[in-house]
Every structure is written in structure tokens, then in C-alpha cells.
Amino acid sequence: MKKAITSALVLALMSASGATYSASLDTTSAAPNDDGVLQNFLGIDWHENASGWVQGFDLTAASNIGDMDTFTFTYQAFAGSIATSSLYPNLRVGLPGPAVGGYELTTYQTITEKATCTAVNCTSISIALVSGTWDVYFDITPDANTGAGTGFLDGVKILSGTWDTGFTNFGANAPVGTPGAMGTGGGAFTGTVTMTDNAYVNPDLLGTDLQASLFFPGIGSYTRSAAFNGVSTGTDTPTNFVLQTDTSQSFTQVTVPEPSVVAIMGAGLLGVGFARRRRKV
């Protein structure tokens, strides 16, 4: 997967420094699903079978270039994979995944964003983050159900934080102001960890930074969520609608690498950019 490749590269580059850039994640549960501790816990790739709920989106095809609108975006997902050096994470990946494993990780996030029309008829839209919060839950009785929109908040909250900066760009595949108008797009967020449950995650990530990539839509199967935290999403309308969303989060400790390591990491990232450009040719 696209994000797994990036996570693996980051892990390799960071490991080269000899410094501590990652945490450990305790996923111990009752036998026979006893995982123990996942070493080098760097982040979570949330499954592409996830929903984002847009509410209060008031731009239409009649809006002019530069017109703005503030709306809320709620996101819920279960983990598709964990960035870790441990060999057997035993993570339950819900349907359409194999739905086997001893535990699951889920997230619930609420974000306020400001959209700006950047083309005639709002056929393209730039979206800037205003503020947001996120939570990650660990559950040894995995039951997250994307279609029903249930089971995302009933685990132990192990990580929480804020979203501080970010941007998203989307293109419309239908007149803006009609359900399903959003086409494809993506962006990135940065945030801060405000809570760590040290029974599960060590060392404490409190106050450290994190990054997230955001893609719309995801790839593969998708089941629209009928509810978010017990609230029905209802039928899609021009201002309130649900869409497929694919994202990931990377957790890193604040550690300053040696200059030589910075150079190695820079060269690696340049290589990734070059490879991506070659694939587009």
C-alpha cells in the first residue's frame, strides 16, 4: 500500500541514526491472541473502507472564485495495518478485511475546515484546517462495523491529540451543491499528542508531533457509514454528505538527528519524489 511503503522508508532511515524515534505499543490480550509488545511503533494506516461525514458545506456551483465556507468533517475508521518492526501484530482488520485477530485499533476525529473556491463554478476547492481533535482506541473485543457505524469508540482510549495545521485540495466530478459532487483529492495534516495511556504506549508521546496523509476517495471496497457515534447520517444532501476517506497517522518522538542522518533522510525522500515522478511519466 502507498502509505506502508512510505512508513517502511521512514523506519529504515530513522533506524540508521541510532536514536529513538519510535514508541512501543502493548497489544497483550488473552491467549491464544497474546501479542506482547509491538516494537518500533511508528504509526497507523487506517483502512480505506472508512467514512468521512461532511456537515454544513454551503458552497455551490453558483459560488465565485474566492468564496469561502466553514464546515465540519467527522472521520471514523479501523486500522488496516500498524507501522511496526514486530513480525506478528495479530491485528483484526474488519470487513472487507479478513476480520480475524485478537484486537483492533480505531479512531474517531472531528475537524473544522474552511473551503475556498479556486475555479469557476467551484470545480476545484482548496480546504484549510481550522482546528480538530482525534482519538485512538484499543479494543480486545473487536467489533467496529463501518456500515452500521458502530464499535469505534468502545475500546480503551490510548492516544488523543489535536490537529493544528493542514490542507486539502479536491476536484468536483459533478456540479458543486449536488450529492457526490466531490471528486478526488488529498492533502496532509500535522498535529500534537495531548494524551498517552502509558499502560499501552511507551515512552510517553505527550507533546510530540504527528503527521497524517489524507486521500479521497480510498481504493478498494467501501461501505457507507449509516451513523457516527450513534447519530444517523441520513440521506446525502448538498450540504451534508458521507464520502469514502483514506488516511494514516505517523507518530514520532522529538529527537534531533545528527547532520549526517539529516542528509541521508533528505536523499531518501528525494529518491521517493523522483520515483513518483518517473511513474507519472
**Least confident stretch, 26-35, 45-54, 150-159:** 26-35
How many C-alpha atoms does 44 have within 13 Å on its Cβ side?
21
Task: List, for residues 19-30, the tens digit of each pLDDT value.
Answer: 445 899 999 877
Output the pLDDT for position 29.
78
Quote the mean pLDDT of the chain: 81
Q: Around Cβ 121, how many Cβ atoms within 10 Å?
A: 16
**Least confident stretch, 51-60, 174-183, 204-213, 264-273:** 264-273
* Confidence label for 179 from pLDDT (cuts 50, 70 and 90): low
pLDDT > 70: what percent of the chain? Answer: 77
Q: Which residues, at least 6 apart from 133, have a Cβ–Cβ distance to it below 8 Å?
A: 109, 110, 111, 160, 161, 162, 163
Output the pLDDT for position 266.
43
Gap between the Cα atoms of 130 and 112, Å rounded: 5
Per-residue HEC secondary structure of 114-149 comes to EEEECCHHHCEEEEEEEEEEEEEEEECCCCCECCCC
Task: List, for residues 184-228, the tens digit of each pLDDT value.
Answer: 788 999 999 999 999 999 999 999 999 999 888 767 788 999 999
- Mean pLDDT over residues 45-62, rounded? 92
Per-residue HEC secondary structure of 213-243 comes to EEEECCCCCCCCCCEECCEECCCCCCCCEEE
Gap between the Cα atoms of 253 and 118, Å rounded: 37
- Mean pLDDT over residues 62-82, rounded? 95
Q: Around Cβ 274, how many Cβ atoms within 10 Å?
A: 10
Q: In this model, does residue 4 exceed pLDDT 70?
A: no
Q: In this model, does residue 150 exceed pLDDT 80?
A: yes
Gap between the Cα atoms of 75 and 55, Å rounded: 12
